[in-house]
Chain A
């Protein structure tokens, strides 16, 4: 296996609503290596969303630990956690990914602005990434002037522009037609291969599962199957 990037170590998660307890993850352990293009799949309620939340520091495990780039992300809080996510993780969500009041350029450079990257550096990186996602000339558009596929490309650009350790994508093709979805996936796969960028998907989509180099199937909060395609 390639260099270890993410590690879930005996992670459990219990959701409590009043007297009702739902155990979403059962002492799950999983390691994702650098440069992987992995899909986590499974039926609804299998725990894939919870797992992604915990591995990205968006949620806290009830027991167990999660590590990213050697640091225990499950123990971080507040600004430390925000800064860590900002600097190490890129996110792509299934819809409403972009800030509607910001232009394409402003959406892409948002994280760089939080990081304090200089104007010149930002402009140069935005221009380069827009070329990568084939959206040159659309810098000044606002999200609702773009198609769904174009919006997801902007989301990919925003996730990648800071060159994070990993990009977490939740059902990135869910709201796209099949040809647009396929094109988006091909683009991400190409970026993964060309830049050795790590992608981790949570999905139901067979297109993603087919393109993933590694497929992790979850069932009832545990890893049911873990297969590498290459």
Chain B
């Protein structure tokens, strides 16, 4: 066996130019695969982060059915108890209670229907980046009960700026009667998400509860986890624990099903891309092996003539494939690591592109993970060996007389 391995390894190194070219070709495909997977992962992480960090939160708790109807009387059962309990959850980094109701904003220049969120200004900072998205004016304060923060598109429609007054009209939960109040624009935000910038407004939760007549009730509790992966894991016990008593707790996968679909699509794309890449690898390896085999036909004849068994002939070819694959993998890993390092530093600019309802707002940085540097190379090795089966069988079936037609 040692001799067979020695023979195979030296044969691979025999035609260095061909080995180098084949190794280069396979290595580039491996590096491409590593980069594509890293890019997909980075893009998805960015999209998830953009979608969850902007305002949505990584998870939410509502009354059952609220997400479908947005009925203002549909509030979370035992919300105060739930808020107290969330404070002691190890998985949870932060949470923020909200009220959600449709409302109408009027200025001297016009009217704009909005989805009005009542928020706790301090707790909300831990959940969303709405405070960082203020472009004009300031973020609403804990004391300013009559302050309102509106999206940039709303400000354009209503032709208002910080300090200007707006009339808010909203329906009461219990009676459906309309109540109105005067607010001063405290800040104008821009999240670069069309629906948010043109249709959302924020006031203090105490004020919204008063206006809607909710008492201490809450429509929504937005959650932030220590690890976003946990928030995307439907099997985590926390969802079940808080989905009781008429409430439902869901992670971002259920809050943004289209993003979940994108993940499935991306995974499928990776599988298809990988399959194609592995097929290319198989063809390259098979081609290299056959080239080498035909070139050494007489030599194979000698090996068979002097008593090398068919199985050992096949083994020589398989070990040559493994050796070639090993060289290719080393090259591919080095190249893949280098390319990933470069783009991890500089990123790729897809800013402004909207995909699955999420606008990419930051540079995309490819993400390196263990799979790329273990599973992919292992699959390259496996595919190489599978590709080598045909030439190996060919070599095993060679008769010495066939192989040495030029001699005995």
Q: Hey, which bits of chain A sit against chain B, CB under 8 A?
A: 49, 52-53, 56, 58-59, 78-79, 82-83, 85-87, 91, 93-97, 99-102, 106, 110-111, 113-114, 158, 168, 170-171, 202
Given known contacts A99-B299, A99-B302, A102-B10, A56 and B408 CB-to-CB distance under 8 angstroms: yes
| Residue in B304, B307, B407 whose beta carbon sits within 8 Å of that of A87 in the complex | B307
Asked whether B298 lies within 8 Å of A96 as measured between CB atoms, the reply is yes
Asked whether A58 lies within 8 Å of B308 as measured between CB atoms, the reply is no
Asked whether B14 lies within 8 Å of A101 as measured between CB atoms, the reply is yes
Is B306 part of the binding interface, using a Cβ–Cβ cutoff of 8 Å? Answer: yes
Given known contacts A93-B302, A111-B307, A58 and B3 CB-to-CB distance under 8 angstroms: no
- Minimum CB–CB distance for B210 against chain A, Å: 88
Q: Which residues of A contact B216 (CB under 8 A)?
A: none
Given known contacts A101-B7, A113-B3, A170-B407, A58 and B309 CB-to-CB distance under 8 angstroms: no
In the bound assembly, the distance between CA atoms of A86 and B302 in angstroms comes to: 11
- Minimum CB–CB distance for B305 against chain A, Å: 5
In the bound assembly, the distance between CA atoms of A208 and B307 in angstroms comes to: 26
Q: Which residues of B contact A59 (CB under 8 A)?
A: 399, 401
Q: Which residues of B contact A56 (CB under 8 A)?
A: 305, 408
Asked whether A91 lies within 8 Å of B309 as measured between CB atoms, the reply is no
Q: How many A-B residue pairs have CB under 8 A?
A: 81
In the bound assembly, the distance between CA atoms of A79 and B309 in angstroms comes to: 5
Asked whether B408 lies within 8 Å of A100 as measured between CB atoms, the reply is no
| Residue in A49, A82, A110 whose beta carbon sits within 8 Å of that of B3 in the complex | A110
In the bound assembly, the distance between CA atoms of A110 and B11 in angstroms comes to: 15
- Minimum CB–CB distance for B308 against chain A, Å: 7
Look across to chain B and name the residue whose beta carbon is closest to the beta carbon of A170: B408
- Minimum CB–CB distance for B144 against chain A, Å: 83
Leading 9 A-B pairs by shortest Cβ distance: A86-B307, A101-B10, A59-B401, A170-B408, A58-B400, A82-B309, A58-B401, A113-B3, A79-B309
Asked whether B408 lies within 8 Å of A114 as measured between CB atoms, the reply is no
Look across to chain B and name the residue whose beta carbon is closest to the beta carbon of A155: B302
> How many residues belonging to B are interface residues under a CB distance threshold of 8 Å?
26
- Minimum CB–CB distance for B192 against chain A, Å: 63
Is B83 part of the binding interface, using a Cβ–Cβ cutoff of 8 Å? Answer: no
- Minimum CB–CB distance for B195 against chain A, Å: 68
In the bound assembly, the distance between CA atoms of A187 and B311 in angstroms comes to: 36
Q: Which residues of A contact B3 (CB under 8 A)?
A: 106, 110, 113-114
- Minimum CB–CB distance for A157 against chain B, Å: 13
Asked whether B408 lies within 8 Å of A83 as measured between CB atoms, the reply is no
Asked whether B299 lies within 8 Å of A111 as measured between CB atoms, the reply is no
- Minimum CB–CB distance for A89 against chain B, Å: 8
Question: Given contacts A83-B309, A101-B10, could you give 19 more A-B pairs where the C-beta distance is less than 8 Å?
Answer: A49-B407, A53-B408, A59-B399, A78-B310, A82-B307, A85-B305, A93-B302, A93-B404, A94-B407, A96-B298, A97-B302, A101-B7, A101-B13, A102-B7, A111-B307, A114-B308, A114-B312, A170-B408, A202-B408
- Minimum CB–CB distance for A108 against chain B, Å: 11
Is B303 part of the binding interface, using a Cβ–Cβ cutoff of 8 Å? Answer: yes
Asked whether B408 lies within 8 Å of A52 as measured between CB atoms, the reply is yes
- Minimum CB–CB distance for A64 against chain B, Å: 16
Given known contacts A93-B408, A170-B407, A85 and B307 CB-to-CB distance under 8 angstroms: yes
Q: Which residues of A contact B10 (CB under 8 A)?
A: 101-102
Asked whether B311 lies within 8 Å of A85 as measured between CB atoms, the reply is no
Q: Which residues of B contact A58 (CB under 8 A)?
A: 305, 399-401, 404, 408
Q: Which residues of A contact B303 (CB under 8 A)?
A: 99
In the bound assembly, the distance between CA atoms of A85 and B310 in angstroms comes to: 13
- Minimum CB–CB distance for B398 against chain A, Å: 11
Asked whether A91 lies within 8 Å of B305 as measured between CB atoms, the reply is yes
Q: Which residues of A contact B304 (CB under 8 A)?
A: 82
Look across to chain A and name the residue whose beta carbon is closest to the beta carbon of B303: A99
Q: Which residues of B contact A106 (CB under 8 A)?
A: 3, 6
In the bound assembly, the distance between CA atoms of A79 and B307 in angstroms comes to: 8
Q: Which residues of B contact A52 (CB under 8 A)?
A: 408
Asked whether B7 lies within 8 Å of A168 as measured between CB atoms, the reply is no
Contact with A along B1-41 (1 / 0, CB 8 A): 00100110011011000000000000000000000000000
